Chains A and B, each alone.
Chain A
Amino acid sequence: MAEERKLRILIAKPGLDGHDRGARVIARAFRDAGFEVVYTGCHQTPEQIVSTAIQEDVDLIGLSILSGAHRYSFPRIMELLKENNAEDITVIGGGIFPLEDIPKLKAIGIKEIFEPGAKLDDIVQWVRTHVKPRKAMVA
Chain B
Amino acid sequence: MNIVDQILAGDVRAVARLLRDIDDQMPSAREILKQLYPHTGRAYILGFTGSPGVGKSTLVDQMAMEYRKKGLTVGILAIDPTSPFTGGAILGDRIRMQRHFLDGGVFIRSLATRGHFGGLTKSTNDMITVLDAMGKDIIMVETVGVGQDEVDIANCAHTTVLVTIPGMGDEVQAIKAGIMEIGNIFVVNKADREGSRKTVRELRNLIELGLRRLGDQHWEPPIIETEALKGRGIPELMDAVERHRQYLLENDRSQWEAVTQKRAKTQLLETLREEALAELLRRMESRGVSLDDLVHKVTARETDPYSVVQDLLQCELR
Contacts and interface: CB of A to CB of B under 8 A. Distances in A.
Contacts of A31: 83, 86, 88-90
B190 to A, nearest CB: 20
A136 B29 contact: yes
B32 A36 contact: no
A47 B104 CA distance: 12
Contact of A86 (B13, B102, B109, B112): B13
Nearest to A30: B88
Contacts of B16: 54-57
A99 interface: no
Contacts of A36: 82, 88-89, 91, 112
A52 B91 CA distance: 12
Contact of A8 (B3, B20, B86, B94): B20
A139 B2 contact: yes
A40 B99 CA distance: 11
A77 interface: no
A105 interface: no
B28 A6 contact: no
Interface string A27-48: 1101111111111110010011
Contacts of B275: 1
B92 interface: yes
Interface residues of A, number: 39
B101 interface: yes
A55 B104 CA distance: 11
Contacts of B120: none
B200 to A, nearest CB: 32
A5 B86 CA distance: 14
A28 B90 contact: yes
A129 interface: no
A8 B16 CA distance: 12
* Interface secondary structure of A, over-half rule: loop
A137 B25 CA distance: 12
Interface in A53-99: 54-57, 84-86
Contact of B86 (A33, A41, A138): A33
Contacts of B32: 137, 139
B130 to A, nearest CB: 12
B292 interface: no
Contact of B18 (A27, A54, A137): A137
Interface in B1-40: 2-4, 12-14, 16-21, 23-29, 31-32, 35
Given A30-B88, A139-B28, A52 B17 contact: no
Most chain A CB atoms below 10 A, which of B17, B20, B25, B27: B20
A34 B12 CA distance: 26
B87 A6 contact: yes
A57 B20 contact: yes
B274 interface: yes
Interface in B182-209: none
A98 to B, nearest CB: 29
Given A38-B94, A47-B102, A137 B88 contact: no
Nearest to B82: A36
A34 B17 contact: no
B261 interface: no
Interface in A18-33: 27-28, 30-33
B48 interface: no
B217 to A, nearest CB: 38
Contacts of A35: 88
B172 interface: no
B270 to A, nearest CB: 12
A37 B87 contact: no
Interface of A: 1-6, 8, 27-28, 30-41, 44, 47-48, 51-52, 54-57, 84-86, 133-134, 136-139
Given A47-B101, A137-B17, 10 more contacts: A6-B114, A27-B90, A31-B89, A31-B90, A33-B88, A36-B91, A39-B90, A41-B95, A41-B98, A139-B4
14 contacts: A2-B27, A3-B24, A30-B88, A31-B89, A32-B83, A38-B110, A41-B94, A55-B16, A55-B109, A56-B16, A57-B16, A133-B24, A136-B26, A137-B32
